[in-house]
Chain A
Amino acid sequence: MTSDISYKVIVGLEIHVQLCTQTKMFCGCALQFGAQPNSRVCPVCLGMPGVLPVMNKHAYEYSVLVGLALNCKVAGFTKWDRKSYYYPDLPKNYQISQYDLPLSENGFIEIPLESGETKRIRITRAHLEEDAGKNLHTAGNFSQVDLNRTGTPLLEIVTEPDMSSGAEVKALAVELQRMVRYLGVSEADMQKGHMRFEPNINLVITKGGKEHKTAIVEVKNLNSFRALERSVDYEVQRQLDEFIDSGKVMEMGNKSTRGWDDDKQMTVLQRVKEEAHDYRYFPDPDLLPVELDDAWLEQIKSQLCELPIKKQIRYVSEYKLSDYDAGVLTADRSTAEFFEEAVKAGGDPKRVCNLITQVGLKLANEAGCGIAELSLTAENMSELAKMIDDGQVSASAGNTILEQMTKTDKAAQVIAEELNLIQKSDAGELEGIVEKVLAENPKAVEDVKSGGKKSKKAQGFLLGQVIQKTKGQANPKVVSEILSKKLS
């Protein structure tokens, strides 16, 4: 019965990103996650009669910066609107938001696909609004309200329904996180609610040559990238099953809201009052519009940086790194910049990359900081990379040296000498040792000369003997060359 069914997944996202300004959007209360409940609150936050909100300039500029990074058209004129809201975590009974004149719209973001290609997801709009506080549900017959978060600047980003799988939705989320962190406008920690994603999911099902659409479901309560991805995949299967079982399609039911239950790994229907979406926007008379002239726009533009996805693609094409390595290096801006500085100082990109990804990041992780915060300079890093490439030290000795470099202020060369890790590359000196080893191992010499299967193994044995005699300090490449010459 189901064999003639095919379907397309359609997902759009509504995203909220808390901006990491020092203070709230319309008052001077500090933004502080984990502060004593209701301690970062003032009359503006409380919605007291007679108070006057005044716009935080940083919050506006951060939003424009994200709008530019999302390739949006940034409005020269934008204004603030009131959106009706009836929960106690915004005591003034409206949320200050933007309705018909958002500060940016019509952009796009490139997301990396597993195939290594990128996909362009259109951005409908990105506007600024204030966050609500927190309602906490108790076991008793009441709820608790903490207004510390009330008024936190919140960027709402709405995408077009251009994603077609849980994996793509996750890719966008990760890319956006990387982007706003590069721009320094948000800490973007999902667990802390700095970034919140609400996917809108439905299917276009083709059955017997006819197209059917399932009703759109909005999913809430997603606190990790994993939950985001899984909730989309779960909804796809659920909607498909529902269609097959009941034939239910969009025309038979309105959009519904479902909450993600992370313990049960499923979505659960939420009851939403029908009138809840009657927002009745109107312009906020307390707040003046914002006009952005070219000079100011240029000034904000100058704070843009090369975006992570662009960097990742460039590392692959310019430095011939693997897409995986390029992804690791560009995961955060300080690591990427450290890498680029070391390359600029003369280090071979692949070598510097290996030092960072195989040792540096582990050391940084252990120290609980970024690689750029370790006592390492890009110059020292590039010097070490050159020493390895020149054969002065082995790659494994290089890892040891790097570890020491993070513990002292000494240069790579100094550490290598102190730890006796400099490889012997002097051909004259090594030749004597090689001759000695050959004389001591006539059987192996014969095996090499006789060729065949044993030859390679015997040559490896001789190489090992030479390295051992030099206490591991002979440059294997130079020894190999001498061996080949003498045995040919």
Chain B
Amino acid sequence: MPRRAPQGTQAVQRALGLLRSFTPEAPEHRLSELAAAHGLHPSTAHRLLGVLEAEGLIGRSPDSQAYRWMPGAPGAGDAAPSPRYNGLRPLEPLRTPFHRRTAALCESGAWRDWSGYTCVETYEPTPEREYWAVRNAAGLIDVSPLFKYEITGADAVRLLDRMMTRDFSKSQTGRVMYTSWCNEDGHLLQDGNVQRLARERFLVSAAEPCLRWFEDCGWGMDVEVRDVSEEIGVLALQGPRARAVAEAATTGLDFGAMRYFDLAAGEVGSGAGGAPVTVTRTGYTGDLGYEFWVAAEHAEALWDALVEAGRDHGLLPAGLLALDMVRVEAGLVLIDVDYVSASHAEIEVLKATPAEAGLGFTVKLDKQADFVGRRALVLERDRGPAWAMVGLEVDWFELERLWSEIDLRPQVVGQPASRKPTPVFAPGGWQVGQCTSRFFSPLLKKYVGLATVHADAAALGTELDVEVAVGYGRRRARARVVRRPFFNPARKTAVDPMPGVDE
């Protein structure tokens, strides 16, 4: 419903609207023009502008014929991201609560849209250092654009158990569960993490909006679903030094006792009285790491504490390109890249069941509660999934062979992970699937990719051909089906992880 201003606040709104008209781009305005632009009677506009002037928020042009922008005046349009829109309108590009910090560090100017938020793609012109920070020291990644839903009420467990493929009767307070959720046909809608914050309070994080689905599944239950996406900022601290940095940046948390997928509450900063923060031992990198969930108003304090603590540990802020590289190494699938959500797929063949998307391990067919999609998934179990998500690996010599055809050394380094699907063939034969994420891992020194292939081409060790670009040409590289994750250090899940493990 359109929000109507209560009586009396209208003048404040109007004054703010007028104030926002003054920007560096449009510093001067005449009374008549402002009145027309804001739909105000000139005498009303005159009165409001008079107050703004008296308060030192705007000035007069030298000939005093017009009102003028005052640089630095609080509230003036210089802080408004776009002069194009009325400041009261919701059309500014969305910023995460860490934006002021990330923007100050983004030397490359490379931004990318993520769920409507402007996010850093790489801080430096190339993502290499950020990538290596995650694998070798620690990387700090702003993942706030995730959608977050708080599920509360006596039936919270019941709702989750009905929607989700995992068994929520087994969920424990202080633990996080990674799960899939499907439509009635057993086709995957999304995958995401569910934190159990209290007996009757959960937080679901998801890549795409799903409030409506959750509410509809909870029809008639004693449960409330609330979209808290914009209220919570999220930072992922990932890499072998993550524990050391996390420990130095927070108070009241026992990182030694925190197991993989545990969750705990503490405070930001080294002394008592810092902002409350929830920490989960989770991440999208396949490495040792933690994610920090903080109220938006305390986001900058959290960022500052982590950056400060990370100074001696080689911490770097890392952008989305580095994140995409490490998540492929970790063999983690990405919605709408490696599988198409059933809520987006226009035709049936694009849809996937959890098993087909490599998420079969999240489906608990024998759990007590009936869940959405179960019937179809039982049938699939009996029949066997038609497709399988596999890891593909192309070794170095194969790359050398391909590039030697055009008299070059392999040209594979320095390219971010590609999300463009490319065909996968039976050796020398027909297409059997597609490779949806791939890149040359400088850590593993292999070309690795995630691919969906016919179930009968999915056995470990199967040889397949994958199309690669060699110069201007397209060649088939011989690949092997290998175990995922491609990279799986012991520190990721180690109890009481210490620096040096796996390093």
A binds B: no
